[in-house]
Chains A and B, each alone.
Chain A
Amino acid sequence: MAYVATRGGEHAIEQAERLFRSDLGTITRDRVETVRDNFPYLVDRLMGEASLYEPDLAALALAQAGGDLYEAVLLLRAYRTTQPRIAIAEPVTQPDLFTVRRVSAAFKDIPGGQILGPTLDYSHRLLQVHVLMGEDYTPEPVIPAAEPAPATQPSLTDWQKAQGLIADHPVETVSPEKIPDLTREPLLFPAPRAHKLQSLARADTGGTLALGYSTMRGYGDVHPTVNELRLGEAPVRLRHPRGTVFSAGRVRVSQAEIISKSKSLELGFSATFGWNEVKVIAAAALDLASTRPDAHPASTEEFVLYHTEPVESSGFCIHFKLPHYVTFQSALDAIRDAKANGNAATAATGAKKLPTKEQEVAL
């Protein structure tokens, strides 16, 4: 009955999971809140890739996965996909954003002004090792500006359009329920603009950076300039059945416009949940590059969107751990047979064999 006893698989996977979870210990509400409050940028990155804005759930996913980002994205996506879509918010335009940071590299100053906001861009990246010796690292107090920046800012692109520098593409009016939704429809190519931007919004930060960087570095025709980068909070405005538009809260968002400096000025755009500057800059560069008639894969819509999908790419990568012995056996059979036939053919025709390495050395 040895064969029957091979139900070890079930016991093994259960124990393996227990081992992982016992290493992490008990997940408590306190622990989740600690993650949420201590790693806002990590939570933001995760919410962007999961395309689910809920800091508590994102922190829970991080705690449950022990910080494994791909696991956490999958946890959130698998939860998100079962939830009904109860309403579609009103569109958000740039002047609607409660902007905390806004910079343009294209001009020294812009209407509304450059607003640095919270950033480490100009900081010296020194590890505060004294903390480990018991000395707290307390930030210096922030001195408020004499005149606070306005909460909302105009769009730089509007100015460029008025100047005739950038083509003013006609705005398509689509009723909310007709907006293509990547999470409910398959991605087909050429992709609708909405699918492309949605796909980039939930793309893997690392993958987006790798491909975006390749186009910036030279595998592509784009010499990007940051036209405008914004971090802010977008109001989530819903329409009540009676017709009143009301705000249901705010979500942190990042958005980037990358402008090309070739013959005509063209814009690439990306926006995502959470504050994640690297991702939106890289994604906007990819958006811009993919409008070019360029054969390089990193400038090809299909190549970029398929290969920056975090759940699909990470899942496929780890699936190679699964047994593949049937397919291997299937190939082995043909290889052995071909080898045997090859040897037989060589012996039959007396064909000259290539010298072995030893014989070559001897020559």
Chain B
Amino acid sequence: MKLQELTKPWAAFNYGFLDESAKRELRRRILKAIAIPGCQVPYASREVPMARGWGTGGLQVTLTLLKPASVVKVIDQGADDSVNASSIRKFFGRVGGVVETEDTGKATIVQSRHRIPEEKLREDQVLVLQVPNPEPLRPVQPDISIARDMHGDADYGQLWLVLYEQLVKSGRIMQGAEYPSLVNGRYVITPSPIPRWDVPKLNQADHLTILSAGREKRLYAVPPYTKVEPLVFDDVPYRVEDHHDKTCYRSNVTGYFVNELPQEDGSSAYELSDSHFGIKHIRKAEGEPVEIGDTWYKNGRMTDDRA
């Protein structure tokens, strides 16, 4: 046996950028996170060639999941062509040799910042959400050590109190994105800052969701077919954003989450937030053979209520 047979030729970087020991650590943490739904699992969080706060947590998870046969979609605020999404997608192509896609249905891994696509994800797809702040208790307890104890005790009273105060002061719950949600009846998570519109898509979903915060060095997961309940009072139902009647001015589609575009005349125009979903509708309207997947929302209402 020659030494050469035992070694690999030198390369500037490993496949998928991260070295194997980093990937091994992440795989173990991901497995733990899946085993304890919603529980924040600390990990070393290596530096990656992107600034912290720019999706480095999601990036590390996706890099660990990558294989040459992977098909990756990256979205930022719902858009595939957003500058940072382009940059991250290009990086996966560069270090993983993967196929890049914008089509939700064709992706094996969807990495996203702040949105879950409108089309339903399947069992064979993984959703990786970039998380800026993994700690739902941060607004009431900035000290991580104490917050960890509170999670241990399932001591979430102060979160209810925050919602109650909003209700009393403003007449309604004011929580926008990152709506605190109870996973599997045990851990409260902040579902990354996805809008309230997207939170029900995590409940009893067919797909696995991994949420990862690189800067804060924590990851957690919502496994398939797991209960995810936004914190609500019995007599005050959960309310998603009032977007059920908004029509996209480009695709003419109604009933999905939209971006509001202020107009010079003082009015607002709306466009679909899920950009490729909009593109598909436009192409279909133009007579192209486009396959649009099943959606969670129909006619502006969540129809897939599995709870």
Which residues of A are in contact with B by a Cβ distance under 8 Å?
1-4, 6-10, 12-13, 74-75, 77-78, 80-84, 183-190, 302, 311-312, 314-319, 322-327, 329-335, 337-338, 341-342, 345
B176 partner, pick from A9, A187, A331, A341, beta carbons under 8 A: A331
Stretch in B49-57, B180-188, B204-212, B299-307 touching the partner: B49-57
Complex Cα–Cα for A83 and B10 (A): 12
CB–CB B173/A334 < 8 A: yes
CB–CB B217/A80 < 8 A: no
CB–CB A330/B51 < 8 A: no
A334 partner, pick from B21, B45, B51, B174, beta carbons under 8 A: B174
| Cβ proximity bits B175-204 to A, threshold 8 Å, 1 near / 0 not | 111100000000000000111110000000
A84 partner, pick from B19, B174, B177, beta carbons under 8 A: B19
CB–CB A327/B114 < 8 A: yes
Complex Cα–Cα for A81 and B197 (A): 38
A82 partner, pick from B14, B170, B197, beta carbons under 8 A: B14
B155 adjacent to chain A (CB < 8 Å): no
Secondary structure type dominating chain B contacts? loop
Given A3-B250, A330-B195; A323-B76 close (CB under 8 Å): yes
A13 partner, pick from B46, B86, B215, B258, beta carbons under 8 A: B86
Query: Closest CB-CB distance, A118 to chain B, in whole Å?
Result: 32
CB–CB A341/B172 < 8 A: yes
Stretch in B30-38, B103-111, B229-237, B272-280 touching the partner: B272-280
20 A–B contacts, CB within 8 A, in A order? A7-B81, A9-B83, A9-B86, A186-B44, A312-B52, A314-B52, A315-B215, A317-B53, A318-B51, A319-B52, A322-B84, A325-B259, A326-B77, A326-B78, A326-B259, A327-B114, A329-B273, A333-B176, A338-B174, A341-B171
A-chain residues with CB within 8 Å of residue B22 when the two chains form the complex: 81
A-chain residues with CB within 8 Å of residue B251 when the two chains form the complex: 3
Given contacts A184-B21, A302-B144, A327-B177, 18 further A-B contacts (CB under 8 A): A4-B279, A4-B283, A6-B81, A7-B81, A9-B81, A9-B85, A10-B90, A82-B46, A185-B44, A302-B145, A311-B47, A312-B52, A315-B56, A316-B52, A319-B54, A326-B114, A330-B177, A337-B242
CB–CB A338/B172 < 8 A: yes
Q: Lowest 5 CB-CB distances: which A-B pairs, in order?
A: A315-B52, A319-B53, A331-B176, A186-B42, A315-B51
Give the residue name and chain of the A residue nearest to B179 (CB): A330
| Cβ proximity bits B9-45 to A, threshold 8 Å, 1 near / 0 not | 0000110011101100100000000000000001111
A-chain residues with CB within 8 Å of residue B132 when the two chains form the complex: 316, 319
B143 adjacent to chain A (CB < 8 Å): yes
Give the residue name and chain of the B residue nearest to A191 (CB): B145
Give the residue name and chain of the B residue nearest to A75 (CB): B49
Complex Cα–Cα for A82 and B242 (A): 46
CB–CB A3/B279 < 8 A: yes
CB–CB B54/A322 < 8 A: yes
Secondary structure type dominating chain A contacts? helix
B123 adjacent to chain A (CB < 8 Å): no
CB–CB A333/B86 < 8 A: no
A-chain residues with CB within 8 Å of residue B245 when the two chains form the complex: none
B158 adjacent to chain A (CB < 8 Å): no
Query: Closest CB-CB distance, B148 to chain A, in whole Å?
Result: 9
Given A82-B17, A187-B217, A326-B115; A10-B47 close (CB under 8 Å): no
CB–CB B54/A315 < 8 A: yes
Give the residue name and chain of the A residue nearest to B273 (CB): A326
A-chain residues with CB within 8 Å of residue B25 when the two chains form the complex: 184
Query: Closest CB-CB distance, B18 to chain A, in whole Å?
Result: 7
B-chain residues with CB within 8 Å of residue A342 when the two chains form the complex: 170-171
B241 adjacent to chain A (CB < 8 Å): yes
A330 partner, pick from B13, B53, B87, B241, beta carbons under 8 A: B241
B162 adjacent to chain A (CB < 8 Å): no
CB–CB B42/A188 < 8 A: yes
Complex Cα–Cα for A33 and B114 (A): 44
Give the residue name and chain of the A residue nearest to B18 (CB): A82
B-chain residues with CB within 8 Å of residue A74 when the two chains form the complex: 47, 49, 51
Complex Cα–Cα for A334 and B82 (A): 26
Complex Cα–Cα for A189 and B250 (A): 51
CB–CB B43/A186 < 8 A: yes
A314 partner, pick from B18, B51, B250, B279, beta carbons under 8 A: B51
Complex Cα–Cα for A248 and B65 (A): 38
CB–CB B54/A311 < 8 A: no
B-chain residues with CB within 8 Å of residue A311 when the two chains form the complex: 47, 51-52
CB–CB A327/B172 < 8 A: no
Greatest chain A CB density within 10 A among B49, B81, B132, B193 is at B81
A-chain residues with CB within 8 Å of residue B278 when the two chains form the complex: 3
Query: Closest CB-CB distance, B145 to chain A, in whole Å?
Result: 5
B215 partner, pick from A1, A312, A338, beta carbons under 8 A: A312
CB–CB A186/B176 < 8 A: no
B48 adjacent to chain A (CB < 8 Å): yes
Complex Cα–Cα for A162 and B81 (A): 67
Given A82-B14, A331-B177, A333-B242; A183-B44 close (CB under 8 Å): yes
Greatest chain B CB density within 10 A among A80, A83, A186, A190 is at A186
B196 partner, pick from A189, A330, A335, beta carbons under 8 A: A330
Complex Cα–Cα for A83 and B113 (A): 29
Give the residue name and chain of the A residue nearest to B42 (CB): A186
Complex Cα–Cα for A2 and B249 (A): 12
| Cβ proximity bits B233-274 to A, threshold 8 Å, 1 near / 0 not | 000000001110000001100000111100000000000010
Give the residue name and chain of the A residue nearest to B251 (CB): A3
A-chain residues with CB within 8 Å of residue B115 when the two chains form the complex: 326
CB–CB B51/A10 < 8 A: no
B99 adjacent to chain A (CB < 8 Å): no
CB–CB A337/B52 < 8 A: no
Complex Cα–Cα for A2 and B13 (A): 39
A-chain residues with CB within 8 Å of residue B279 when the two chains form the complex: 3-4
Complex Cα–Cα for A52 and B22 (A): 18
CB–CB A330/B144 < 8 A: no
Give the residue name and chain of the B residue nearest to A16 (CB): B83
A-chain residues with CB within 8 Å of residue B172 when the two chains form the complex: 334, 337-338, 341
